[in-house]
Amino acid sequence: MSKLELPATWRCGRFLFDFSQFQRPLVMGILNATPDSFSDGGKFRTVGDVIVRANLMIKNGVDIIDIGGESTRPGAQPVSLQEELDRVLPIIEELKDCGVALSIDTYKAEVMRQALHAGVDCVNDIWALRQEGALEAVLEYSCQSPNKSCGIVLMHMQCDPLTMQFNPKYSDLLAEVSLFLKQRSDLLIAKGVANDCIVVDPGFGFGKTLEHNLKMLADLQYFTGLGYPVLAGISRKSMLGRITGRDTQDRLSASIASVIVAADRGAQIMRVHDVPETMDALKIWKSIQNI
């Protein structure tokens, strides 16, 4: 495949990622502090368990750790603000000086605000800052700390986690998802956010059928035309189970295959559960790109 013209850098809080130096997509490791996440909910029951998991990611070369305190799987029930804060803030405190970028996976404005002030570098929001106060929380932090403006991941989702998989429909899938992401990123820029802080995520599995997900993966380079790094979050998702017939914990091979397809089509950030295996796969991919 011919080389795509992709963004050169991404400003993410304390970090400025130069993609020309990496020559591979960044790896964002998923760190769930939840009892009900679709893949590893309840597996890491204490802060100590979660930190062990995080340190293993760091040892294996992860670039970003995405900390989540509320499941967003299809049908997930929301948790209270205080419960989410109680789950994520102790983890942020333990990891804030770990040497890799930290991301908070939340849609709640107050969680964003407290996580940013506690030391995270990025806000990863499935609602693309559409919930009350979320945009203001990010702008407030960026204005107070202009030299380390947080990274912002804007994701597309049809409906909400409780209803998003109830017969999702699109007239033109790629155009509709792309337009949504453009409108949200344009709004941020109009509010003063630097364009090199923004990442877009088409939202695999969030209000899409299997056919929709496959179409987005096959044509992922369509979204690179927006001018921002594209994040691909496909790891262990049900679309892979539908194709392979395998349970969540047995989708490593399928997840790796999807990472390589996404990399070939221009994704610059991979959000994954299996960091060492993904890193190995991307090293092989990178070696081929360098020939």
Q: Which of 24, 108, 237, 265 is catalytic?
A: 237
Identify whether 102 is part of a domain.
Answer: yes
Is pLDDT above 90 for 141?
no
Is pLDDT above 80 for 40?
no
What H or E segment, with its residue span, contains residue 255?
helix 252-264
Tell me what pLDDT residue 46 has.
Answer: 85
Tell me what pLDDT residue 82 has.
Answer: 97
Does 271 qualify as catalytic in the annotation?
Answer: yes
Residue 261 sits at φ, ψ, to 5 deg, of -60, -45
- The whole-number average pLDDT for the span 79-107 is 97
Q: Which of 11, 87, 236, 271 is catalytic?
A: 271
Helices (H), 96-224: 109-118, 134-144, 173-190, 210-218, 221-224
The residue type of 119 is: G
Beta-sheet strand order (sheet of 198-201): 198-201, 151-155, 122-125, 101-105, 64-68, 26-32, 269-272, 231-232
Tell me what pLDDT residue 3 has.
Answer: 57
Region of poorest pLDDT, from 44-58, 96-110, 230-244, 266-280: 44-58
* pTM as predicted: 0.93
Residue 32 sits at φ, ψ, to 5 deg, of -95, 130
Of residues 75 and 89, more confidence is placed in 89
- The whole-number average pLDDT for the span 144-149 is 68
Sign of CA dihedral 38, 40, 43, 49: negative
Task: Please give the residue range of the domain that contains residue 204.
Answer: 12-289
Tell me what pLDDT residue 38 has.
Answer: 43
Identify whether 45 is part of a domain.
Answer: yes
What H or E segment, with its residue span, contains residue 243?
helix 238-244
CA distance 128 to 248: 26
Tell me what pLDDT residue 147 has.
Answer: 65
Tell me what pLDDT residue 71 has.
Answer: 85
- The whole-number average pLDDT for the span 171-191 is 97
Angle 139-121-213 (CA atoms, 0-180°, nearest 5)?
90
DSSP codes of every residue in 83-132: HHHHHHHHHHHHHTTSSSEEEEE---HHHHHHHHHHT--EEEETTTT-ST
Confidence of residue 241 (pLDDT cuts 50, 70, 90): very high
Of residues 34 and 196, more confidence is placed in 196
Percent of the chain having pLDDT more than 70?
Answer: 92
Q: Which of 168, 165, 234, 172 is nearest to 201 (CA)?
A: 234
Region of poorest pLDDT, from 37-46, 177-186, 260-269: 37-46
- The whole-number average pLDDT for the span 102-116 is 97
- The whole-number average pLDDT for the span 123-145 is 91
Identify whether 5 is part of a domain.
Answer: no
The answer to whether 116 touches 150, Cβ cutoff 8 Å, is yes
- At 208, list the tokens: 């899409």
Of residues 44 and 159, more confidence is placed in 159
Identify whether 128 is part of a domain.
Answer: yes
Identify whether 60 is part of a domain.
Answer: yes
Of residues 260 and 2, more confidence is placed in 260
CATH number assigned to the domain comprising residue 124? 3.20.20.20
Most confident of 36-45, 112-121, 136-145: 112-121
Confidence of residue 166 (pLDDT cuts 50, 70, 90): confident
Residue recorded with tokens 């969680």: 111
- The whole-number average pLDDT for the span 240-267 is 97
Confidence of residue 144 (pLDDT cuts 50, 70, 90): low
Identify whether 215 is part of a domain.
Answer: yes
Identify whether 6 is part of a domain.
Answer: no
The answer to whether 104 touches 83, Cβ cutoff 8 Å, is no
- The whole-number average pLDDT for the span 5-19 is 93
- The whole-number average pLDDT for the span 208-230 is 97
Cβ neighbour number for residue 282 with a 10 Å cutoff:
24
Strand partners, 211: none
Identify whether 3 is part of a domain.
Answer: no
Is pLDDT above 80 for 216?
yes
Q: What is the mean pLDDT of the chain?
A: 91
Tell me what pLDDT residue 41 has.
Answer: 46
Tell me what pLDDT residue 78 has.
Answer: 84
Provide the domain count of the chain: 1
